[in-house]
């Protein structure tokens, strides 16, 4: 057994560098030394026994010279010593010396000092020898009436453990504790007594609870928690008792303790699915989230609300509480806000969408007024996306949302502005009635847009959807305003040479009055102070982008001007006005081309952009009907098709989610009667307290494969050969942050192996928690040794080591058997996840570690290879199915996964089918992996390399 599995209150730190003392020197210190030296000697004895040393000669010395001492430190150390020292002979009989020790225990149980009494009672909980406990029973009973609560509560625990292990020693324990509980006033003593009755005699516990059920809300929180546990267990075993206790649980929802409220809400939902009960529990959860300051607590309780939502009948109740859930947005933590917005979005319905939008609009406006925090931009982005989703699902809301969001197009945070732009593009295409409003707002904020990417998108929207003469004139006015005076090259040369008049360059600012050190006033001219920095600042936005060498926006401008000019020609019949507008559009394009070819911009114009602008010039000079159709109709068709496909995908994913959640019962499904159902068949009958305890201990039951034995055997690793003197194999059990190695060690010799020790070391981001204890193995005997290894990051780890032992009676050195390496699979930590295309591209640009894996497989089908890679790496394919369907000889897909430690892993699969090599030719290509850490990128690459080839059947 490992130290973690033993019942232990004392952790002992063992220094590795100290030399073990001899038995003679220890005996001398224990017999003749001062108190201090006796304490040190006793500590050394404890450490030596823990390391597997047998010191039988010191037992009587300690009984004679150390046991009678009254020093508290020595008494504490003696309790540890008596816990670990062997108390029986080799044939299992109790040592004679232990009778003397038993008498010492009895004296300590009658000691006037309450600490010594209490700590001795605590120690007795760990004794497993009934012969030692039997003489002490009267003294333990007497401690139940001690004046101090510390003694009484430990006496209850001692009686409980003795009753559980040796019922014959105290058969009347439940009755004794019930009488004690009725008269007890201290909360901790009542809690321990009540807990014992729950596990030892549930009927008595219920009798006691029935007598005081109306006073439960006045009890201390530790007792209330145990009462909640009892009610849960009773109703879990016997559902007919629910009506009797549900009122008590309702009362506990008003407890002052957050822990009691949380447990009571969880219990209430499992006991009753009535809307009033679900509403009360959900309201309790929401109050907890708002009042608790710890973000981890908020996230845990939010998860419980999400679980409630998964139940179809509970979802309707939660829809009425959406506004209460949105109160959680006051929390500054981004993760809490993200989860809250997602929950609110899942619960939104036509009844509450209007209120939801009002709250979200207020939150968006708040982010404008808040001093910039690192998460403010991300939060604003989340709000924009949530409003976008609401408007798509409830088109009536779009008119309220758009004016507020359009203000953010001029935001310095490009990501939030890009989300707004995407939303506006979708809204203007889908909602014809909103087009005039969107165009108007877009023209209002156009001049204030600060980032080139947003400027490009805004230009495209204006060019595509401006259909009236006034709107087209407004677009031209805004473009001229953004470009400044044309021709651009001449104007810029004049600015450089300083020929532009001072009034144009310097805005009229009032002269400033300043105070000197002597207290006199001086006047400073605004003209002289601001002039040098004006050249950069005075440039209009579009000219600024062009001077920085960003000519992609020029190509976008040319397309926009071409669209509006062709539309203007169709709307306005006056030939003079038509020619004037066309000429102005062409002049703007030509001057931009001229600027690109000059040496003024920081970067020259690219050939692609030159070609695009030249094409637009040619289209405007000819004005053919075919070009008119392509520019003004085909572009919009493409957008419409893209939005339709995206909407279909969203509806499909929502349909899958709802199908997953809806519990469908077929007409011919068998009816399950609770009384007749075997325990292993009842999925909803899992004891939540037991499951949470198992989860805390790291023993969460996993869903095994169809054949549970085979899935467990897959994780058994053979560590030594069958012909080695010691055979070893390990079962590797991976929990979330640690690995438990259950090593079976078999002595295959006819000798007794002493001090048989499993020595382990790790490579990678693994850490051994404790050193396994040495064993003694009889001939052909076997034993299990457990070792815990902590995991800190997603990386391929290796555990290696050896088994060392002494042969009984042999004079040779220690023997050693080297173990095979245990490779820890990265797949145990990687889970499929999803992200947007924009987030994927951003992470792809940010992550510095890349691993390029060449495809080397025997699979001949592209789609089959992709599915094989997804299955073997636990990654999720972000590329939609429609983009992957069909056959064209090549395929590109983006994959994404996240580890349980929060690390992201990206992969891009680029593969092709070499048709010229015949139909049986295997797939070729590359997989590029990117991650933040080198270990993650390399480990994932190794995993793909190992599992590329399909196993032949």
Tokens linked to 242? 């629910």
For residue 438, what pLDDT is reported? 82
Tell me the pLDDT band of 14, cut-offs 50, 70 and 90: low
Q: How confident is the model at residue 18 (pLDDT cuts 50, 70, 90)?
A: low
Least confident of 14-23, 219-228, 231-240: 14-23
Contact 213, 248 (CB under 8 A): yes
pLDDT mean over 72-96: 80
The pLDDT value given to residue 745: 92
Q: Which of 720-724, 733-737, 786-790 has the lowest mean pLDDT?
A: 733-737
Looking at residue 3, what is its pLDDT?
40
Q: Is 780 helix (H, G, I), strand (E, B) or coil?
A: coil
Q: How far apart are CA 14 and CA 11, in angstroms?
A: 10
Four-point Cα dihedral 931, 937, 943, 945, nearest 10: 120
Number of Cβ within a 10 Å radius of residue 107: 13
What number is the average pLDDT over the span 344-354?
Answer: 82
243-259 average pLDDT score: 81
Q: Where are the alpha helices (DSSP H) in 484-551?
A: 488-497, 502-505, 526-530, 534-537, 541-547
Average pLDDT of span 59-83: 83
* Contact call for residues 322 and 356 (beta carbons, < 8 A): yes
pLDDT confidence bin for 810, thresholds 50/70/90 = low
8 pLDDT above the threshold of 50: no
Q: Is the pLDDT of residue 507 over 70?
A: no
Residue 727 has a pLDDT of 92
Q: What is the mean predicted confidence (pLDDT) over 615-635?
A: 74
Q: Work out the pLDDT band at 908, boundaries 50, 70, 90.
A: very high
Asked if residue 498 has pLDDT above 80, the reply is: no
On the question of pLDDT at 559 being above 80, the answer is yes
390 in Cβ contact with 360 (< 8 Å) = yes
Give pLDDT, residue 1. Answer: 40
The CA-CA-CA angle for residues 646, 647, 648, to 5°, reads 90
pLDDT of residue 503: 40
- Of 228-232, 565-569, 588-592, 630-634, least confident by mean pLDDT is 630-634
Gyration radius from the chain CA atoms: 39
CA 86 to chain CA centroid, Å, is 46
Structure tokens at 586: 């062409």
719-to-665, 732, 773, 791 alpha-carbon distances in Å: 49, 12, 19, 21
Please provide residue 762's backbone torsions phi and psi, each rounded to the nearest 5 degrees: -130, 155
**Whether pLDDT at 281 is above 80:** yes
Phi, psi of 44 (to 5 degrees): -65, -40
413 confidence band (pLDDT: 50, 70, 90): low
Mean pLDDT (the chain) is: 78
Does the pLDDT value for residue 629 go beyond 50? yes
The string of pLDDT tens digits covering residues 329-347 is: 888 888 888 888 888 888 8
Is 60 exceeded by the pLDDT of residue 628? yes
Percent of the chain with pLDDT over 70: 83
In this predicted structure, which of 110-114, 236-240, 315-319, 537-541 has the lowest mean pLDDT? 537-541
Q: Please provide residue 932's backbone torsions phi and psi, each rounded to the nearest 5 degrees.
A: -75, -35
pLDDT of residue 728: 92
Q: Does this model's pTM top 0.75?
A: no
Number of residues that make up the chain: 953
C-alpha dihedral (502, 508, 514, 520), degrees to nearest 10 = 80
CB 102 within 8 A of CB 63: no
Q: Residue 729 has what pLDDT? A: 92
Q: Give Cα separations from 275 to 246, 306, 319 (angstroms).
A: 14, 16, 12
Residue 744: pLDDT band (50, 70, 90) is very high
pLDDT digits (tens, 9 = 90+) for 445-472: 888 887 888 888 888 888 888 878 888 8
Over range 773-797, report the average pLDDT.
Answer: 81
- On the question of pLDDT at 260 being above 80, the answer is yes
Give the separation between CA 367 and CA 376, rounded to whole angstroms.
6
> Can you say whether the dihedral through the CA atoms of 99, 102, 104, 110 is positive or negative?
negative
* Separation in Å, CA 617 to CA 490, 592, 794: 21, 12, 56
pLDDT tens across 128-182, in order? Answer: 888 888 888 888 888 888 888 888 989 998 998 888 888 888 888 888 888 888 8
User: Which tokens is 850 given?
Assistant: 């890349």
Residue 952 is predicted with a pLDDT of 54
Q: Which residue has the higher pLDDT, 1 or 323?
A: 323
Instruction: Please report the pLDDT score of residue 658 as a whole number.
Output: 61
């Amino acid at each position: 057994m490992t130290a973690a599995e033993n019942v232990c209150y004392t952790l002992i730190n063992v220094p590795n560098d100290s030399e073990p003392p001899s038995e003679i020197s220890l005996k001398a210190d224990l017999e003749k030394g001062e108190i201090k030296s006796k304490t040190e000697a006793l500590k050394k004895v404890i450490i030596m026994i823990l390391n597997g040393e047998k010191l039988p000669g010191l037992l009587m010395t300690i009984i004679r010279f150390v046991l009678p001492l009254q020093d508290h430190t020595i008494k504490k150390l003696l309790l540890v010593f008596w816990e670990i020292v062997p108390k029986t002979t080799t044939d299992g009989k109790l040592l004679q010396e232990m009778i003397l020790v038993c008498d010492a225990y009895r004296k300590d149980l009658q000691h006037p000092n309450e600490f010594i009494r209490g700590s001795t009672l605590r120690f007795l909980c760990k004794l497993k020898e009934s012969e030692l406990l039997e003489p002490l029973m009267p003294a333990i009973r007497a401690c139940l009436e001690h004046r101090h609560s510390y003694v009484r509560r430990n006496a209850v625990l001692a009686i409980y453990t003795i009753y559980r292990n040796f019922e014959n020693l105290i058969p009347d324990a439940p009755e004794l504790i019930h009488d004690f509980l009725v008269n007890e006033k201290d909360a901790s003593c009542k809690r321990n007594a009540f807990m014992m009755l729950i596990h030892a005699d549930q009927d008595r516990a219920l009798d006691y609870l029935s007598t005081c059920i109306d006073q439960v809300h006045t009890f201390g929180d530790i007792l209330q928690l145990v009462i909640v546990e009892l009610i849960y267990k009773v109703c879990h075993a016997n559902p007919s008792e629910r009506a009797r206790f549900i009122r008590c649980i309702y009362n506990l929802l008003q407890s002052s303790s957050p822990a009691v409220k949380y447990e009571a809400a969880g219990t209430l939902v499992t006991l009753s699915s009535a809307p009033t009960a679900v509403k009360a529990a959900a309201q309790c959860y929401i109050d907890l989230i708002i009042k608790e300051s710890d973000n981890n607590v908020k996230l845990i309780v939010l998860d419980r609300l999400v679980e409630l939502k998964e139940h179809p009948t509970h979802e309707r109740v939660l829809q009425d509480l959406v506004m209460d859930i949105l109160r959680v947005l006051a929390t500054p933590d981004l993760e809490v806000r993200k989860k809250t917005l997602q929950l609110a979005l899942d619960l939104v319905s036509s009844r509450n969408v209007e209120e939801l939008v009002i709250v979200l609009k207020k939150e968006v406006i708040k982010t404008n007024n808040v001093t910039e925090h690192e998460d403010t931009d991300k939060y604003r982005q989340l709000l924009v996306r949530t409003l976008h989703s609401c408007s798509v699902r409830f088109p009536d809301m779009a008119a309220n949302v758009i004016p507020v969001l359009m203000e953010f197009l001029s935001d310095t945070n490009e990501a939030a502005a890009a989300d707004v732009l995407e939303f506006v593009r979708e809204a203007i295409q889908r909602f014809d009635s909103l087009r005039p409003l969107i165009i108007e707002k877009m023209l209002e904020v156009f001049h204030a847009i600060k980032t080139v990417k947003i400027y490009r998108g805004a230009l495209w929207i204006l060019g595509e959807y401006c259909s009236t003469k006034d709107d087209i004139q407004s677009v031209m006015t805004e473009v001229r305003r953004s470009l400044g005076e044309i021709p651009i090259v001449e104007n810029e040369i004049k600015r450089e040479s300083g020929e532009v008049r001072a009034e144009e360059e310097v805005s009229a600012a009032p002269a400033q009055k300043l105070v000197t050190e002597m207290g006199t006033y001086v006047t400073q001219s605004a003209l002289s102070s601001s002039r040098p920095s004006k050249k950069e600042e005075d440039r209009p936005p579009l000219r600024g982008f062009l001077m920085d060498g960003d000519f992609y926006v020029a190509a976008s401008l040319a397309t926009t001007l071409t669209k509006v000019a062709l539309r203007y020609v169709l709307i306005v019949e006056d030939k003079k006005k038509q020619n004037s507008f066309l000429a102005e559009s062409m002049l703007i394009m030509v001057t931009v081309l001229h600027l690109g070819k000059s040496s003024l911009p920081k970067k020259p114009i690219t050939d692609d952009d030159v070609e695009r602008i030249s094409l637009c010039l040619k289209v405007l000079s000819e004005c053919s009907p075919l070009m008119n159709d392509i520019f003004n109709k085909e572009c919009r068709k493409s957008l419409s098709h893209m939005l339709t496909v995206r909407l279909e995908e969203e509806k499909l994913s929502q349909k899958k989610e709802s199908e997953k959640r809806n519990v469908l019962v077929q007409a011919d499904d068998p009816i399950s009667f609770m009384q007749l159902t075997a325990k292993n068949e009842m999925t909803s009958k899992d004891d939540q307290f037991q499951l949470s305890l198992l989860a805390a201990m790291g023993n969460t039951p996993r869903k095994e494969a169809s054949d549970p034995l085979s899935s467990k055997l897959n994780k058994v690793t053979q560590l030594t050969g069958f012909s080695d003197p010691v055979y070893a194999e390990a079962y590797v059990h991976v929990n979330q942050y640690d690995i438990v190695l259950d090593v079976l060690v078999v002595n295959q010799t006819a000798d007794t192996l002493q001090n048989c020790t499993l020595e382990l070391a790790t490579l990678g981001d693994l850490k051994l928690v404790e050193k396994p204890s040495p064993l003694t193995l009889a001939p052909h005997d076997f034993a299990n040794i457990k070792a815990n290894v902590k995991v800190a990051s997603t990386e391929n780890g290796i555990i290696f080591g050896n088994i060392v032992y002494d042969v009984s009676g042999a004079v040779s050195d220690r023997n050693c058997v080297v173990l095979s390496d245990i490779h820890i699979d990265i797949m145990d930590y990687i889970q499929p996840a999803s992200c947007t295309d924009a987030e994927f591209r951003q992470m792809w640009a940010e992550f510095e570690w890349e691993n390029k894996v060449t495809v080397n497989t025997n699979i001949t089908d592209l789609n089959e290879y992709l599915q094989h890679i997804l299955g073997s790496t636990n990654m999720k394919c972000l590329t939609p199915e429609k983009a992957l369907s069909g056959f064209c000889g090549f395929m590109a897909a983006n994959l994404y996964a996240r580890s349980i430690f929060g690390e992201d892993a990206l992969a891009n699969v680029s593969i092709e089918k070499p048709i010229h090599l015949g139909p049986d030719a295997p797939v070729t290509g590359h997989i590029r992996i990117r991650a933040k850490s080198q270990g993650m990128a390399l480990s994932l690459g190794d995993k793909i390399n190992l599992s590329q080839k399909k196993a032949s059947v």
